[in-house]
Amino acid sequence: MSSPTWRPLLACVVAAAAASACGGSDGPSSAFTLLPTPAPAPTSPLPPPPPPPSPAPAPVAQPALLNTPDEAGGCAAVAALAAELSAAGRTVSITSTKIAKTTATDASGNPQSYCAVAGTINGGRKGLQAAGQTDAMSTYAIAFQINLPTRWNGRMFMSGGGGSDGSVPDTTGAISNGETVQPLLSGYATISNDSGHSNATNNDPNNAGTASFGLDPVARVDFGYNAIGQTKQLANQLVARYYAKKQDYAYFMGCSEGGREAMMVSQRFGDEFDGVVAGDPGSDLPKAWLAEAWDTQQFAAAAQAQGFLETTGPGASNSTPLMNAAFQPAQWAALQQAVLAKCDADDGLVDGMINKRSCTFDVSTLACGAPGAPGAPGCLVPAQVTAMQKVMGGVKNSAGDALYSDWPWDAGIGAFGWQIWKTGFGYRTSGANDAINATLGGGAGPLIFTTPPTQGLATGNSLVQFQLRFDWDADAPKIKATDGTYTESAYSFMGTHSTDMSKLKGKGGKLILYHGTSDPVFSFNYTAKWVDSLAGNTANGTVKDFVRLFAVPGMNHCSGGPATDTFPVFSAVVDWVEKGKAPDRLIASSKPGNPDTAGWTLPAGVSSRVRPLCPYPQYAQYIGTTGSAPAALLEQNDPGKFVCAN
């Protein structure tokens, strides 16, 4: 860049000042001759000082678009704001605006009218195009929808996604993450996005289908965090323009990948949110994916040892083990009963739930022929014992170093919601693998979570094979690798391991996490260890003042399992933020009809179990009457008969 033209001028001014200083010298080496001081010139009255400059006019607040001149007209006027809403790194296109009404109604029978705004950020971006891809497959955008209610309550609600995202979550109706809420109906402006890629268009069948966006380095970062940051900042501007007022409070809520996003915003964008709810979060998701691949190897080995192989698809010709057959239903039932027999009473009540999280269980006690082990088909063969020991102990490399986390022994292990991730959708001895770890996770690992991404995975069996061949010494470091094309590692752009919570804390924000202790895909123990680590950062002060974690006994991934999996967690974070009411417990209930709770004994006429959830590291300790008498059962369903114990 050329030198600015004012630099010679500045040099002259400096030189003149130096010459003046030299002129003041009276030594013999002075280059100047001192002259007599001239008489002062006659003075004349000074002119009056000029009037002070007029103050710059204050910026004129733009009027609210809502109802200017009418609701429909105001909503339509949003379409013209694309340029105003754009910024450096953010080109906004608004593709539709329309007035709509919620399907649900409030207590008075009234729906909420709202302006639905849909559009894209950085639409039409041309990404990295792999061999064989069409232009559509490698063209990206961050698609968003922002819903602006007519009866606005001054608040904003942003929803997390799920899986590997790729579609815009619907926030116009009920949203269930622990608690079922209707934010738009309640007057929240609601925001969601697809995280920067589309399952419909960025879908390459020769590269793991919808995971193929992982071939593009920008799409990776958009998925990890950038799409959320860009959408939230856009929403800030649009809300302020539509209502001529900034929001009073902003909230974020999600479970699973949405829970990871919630943790991520609490760390990267904590100054953008007042309250955050993170359910069963995929903390440091690339590390959790290592556990998915590890589990695939262990359950495949158990199936292989029993001679169960895929019988359909490409796997039928290359002897791929069929994980669905790794364990029989009677074996899962025997495992659940044994875990409960060991640990159920530790919280003061034998009720099919393990509240105290100190359960130690030796799965080898179920080995066929071991003293006290059940007979066939409930006992476990050696390969099954080994599989469960390795799965619950967590993924390790050949040196024995933990690469993710171990898992808690709990009552929901082996429940249907647990099996679908680890071994598949029910027991069967024929067909092809359908465990979510090997299908959804099978594509995410090689395309999104490792560098460089692996190309050419065109079948479900190829995804299983990628996990079966994964090497814990040579391949695991790829989650932290970078290269000239992929300059940010998966562990970085997906990471939620930071203990720097200064942005959230500085804003006065609050974070509530909840996590099922029978979650089969993300370990409760990993989340708990992160919460523990916050105390090591002295800048966080007293962690419980703004972060609380609630364990949900028996709950599988986000819901299900033998669990009281319904609890008012969003209401709790709002009360904490706006009323200063810290959640010392959450009152949880079970879903009537949940088959995992069919064996529970409830009081007469009651269809739902009620229990308190306590903030980690506390647990719900029962102090009431035990037994199965009617009065005792009523006490056992009374949260007041439990205390939060350490």
The values of phi and psi at residue 533, to 5°, are: -65, -20
The values of phi and psi at residue 55, to 5°, are: -60, 145
Question: Is-contact 517 408, C-beta < 8 A?
Answer: yes
Annotated catalytic residue, options 274, 519, 565, 596: 519
Annotated catalytic residue, options 256, 405, 523, 559: 256
Residue 145, classed as helix, strand or coil, is strand
Q: What is the 3-state secondary structure (H, E, C) of 242-254?
A: HHCCCCCEEEEEE
Cα torsion 158, 197, 78, 113: sign:
negative
Question: Is-contact 171 191, C-beta < 8 A?
Answer: yes
**Bridge partner residues of 125 (DSSP):** 140
In degrees, to the nearest 5, what angle opens at C-alpha 456 toward C-alphas 454 and 461? 95
Q: What is the 3-state secondary structure (H, E, C) of 418-459?
A: HHHHHCCCCCCCCCCCCCHHHHHHHHHHHHCCCCCCCCCCCC
Annotated catalytic residue, options 557, 559, 565, 596: 557
3-state helix, strand, coil in the chain (%, to 5): 35, 15, 50
Q: What is the largest CA-CA distance in the chain?
A: 122
Residue 371, classed as helix, strand or coil, is coil
Using CA atoms, how far residue 16 sits from 32, 36, 193, in Å, is 14, 22, 61
Q: Please say if 497 is a catalytic residue.
A: no
Q: Please say if 86 is a catalytic residue.
A: no
User: In the structure encoding, which two tokens stand for residue 396, read together?
Assistant: 């390790």
Cα torsion 594, 600, 605, 608: sign:
negative
Question: Is-contact 436 521, C-beta < 8 A?
Answer: yes
Q: Give the Cα separation of 424 and 434 in Å (integer).
A: 5
Question: Is-contact 246 222, C-beta < 8 A?
Answer: no
Cβ neighbours of residue 311 closer than 8 Å, sequence gap 6 or more: 322, 430, 431, 432
> Which residues belong to the active site?
256, 519, 557
